[in-house]
Chain A
Amino acid sequence: MTDPDVQQSLQRIRPTLLRFAMLQLRNEAAAEDVVQETLLAALEGKSAFSGRSQFKTWAVSILRNKIVDYLRRTSREGILPLLDEQGDEDFDALFDGSGHWQEVPGDWGDPAVVLEQRGLYDVLELCMKALPENLARVFTMREILGFETDEICKELKMSSSNCWVVLYRARMRLRECLQLRWFDAR
């Protein structure tokens, strides 16, 4: 790609990068910063990239690393809000006294089909945004940035069991939201 091509492509995917960063940082200024760093790194590294088709994937992978750096920096500075001890009562209500499902979980269909549906990712974004920040931080580190659970616990100075509980709660909320906003709505 020539320079103008790269710049054009970068400008085109900038909103996507920003959305991606916002979802994980929940702070516009911080999101702008990491996206800016990403665009610079992409321009500097453009020789490493040839071919247009995977351009977005490539830029997102740079962004991922920038976000990881940012999270490392800020978690060390202790910006992360403490995890509150909200209970699991909401989710326990999904089960009867002997531990059976009150309502059988929905059939979400063939993943190969579902994952190709465009609107899914907008709903996913909406549902991720609806997560409380303390859950979202841990959950996006795990599921979107692909950290190992041990790493997250260490970075955020949480016990392993605390980590698992937080990830569980995030999954249960996300599941509920997807059921309501996507699978029931279709």
Chain B
Amino acid sequence: MKSCWEIHRLVSEGQDRKFGFGERLAVRMHLLMCSACRRFERQMKLMRQALRRFPGE
């Protein structure tokens, strides 16, 4: 199983490229079991949403 270190890099990369089947599965499996990485993923999503809305209002 991949470590949190590997997964957090992949979560970032997942915002920039399409995963292959194996990678997608590995990330989903890990996120299912790891609340720390789930939080990290939510942070990344929130940052993206906020930047898309910038300058806000």
**Residues 35-57 of chain B: 1 if any A CB is under 8 Å from the residue's CB, otherwise 0?**
11101101111111111111111
Interface residue SS majority, chain B = helix
Residues from chain A with Cβ under 8 Å of B42 in the complex: 108, 111
The distance from the CB of B45 to the nearest CB of chain A, in whole angstroms, is 7
The distance from the CB of B10 to the nearest CB of chain A, in whole angstroms, is 10
Interface residue SS majority, chain A = helix
Residues of A within 8 A of B (CB): 16, 19-20, 23, 56, 60, 92, 95, 98-101, 104-108, 111, 114-115, 118, 120-121, 124-125, 142-144, 146, 149, 160, 163-164, 167-168, 171-172, 174-175, 178
Q: How many residues of B contact A (CB 8 A)?
A: 31
Can you name 22 A-B residue pairings with CB atoms under 8 Å?
A16-B55, A92-B5, A104-B39, A108-B42, A108-B43, A108-B46, A111-B45, A115-B46, A118-B57, A120-B50, A121-B55, A121-B57, A124-B56, A143-B47, A143-B51, A143-B52, A149-B16, A149-B17, A163-B16, A164-B13, A168-B12, A175-B43
Taking a contact as CB atoms under 8 Å apart, the answer to whether A144 and B54 are in contact is: yes
Smallest CB-CB A-B distances: 4 pairs? A99-B3, A121-B56, A99-B5, A143-B51
A sample of 4 more A-B contacts (CB under 8 A), given A100-B3, A121-B50, is A20-B54, A23-B54, A100-B5, A105-B40
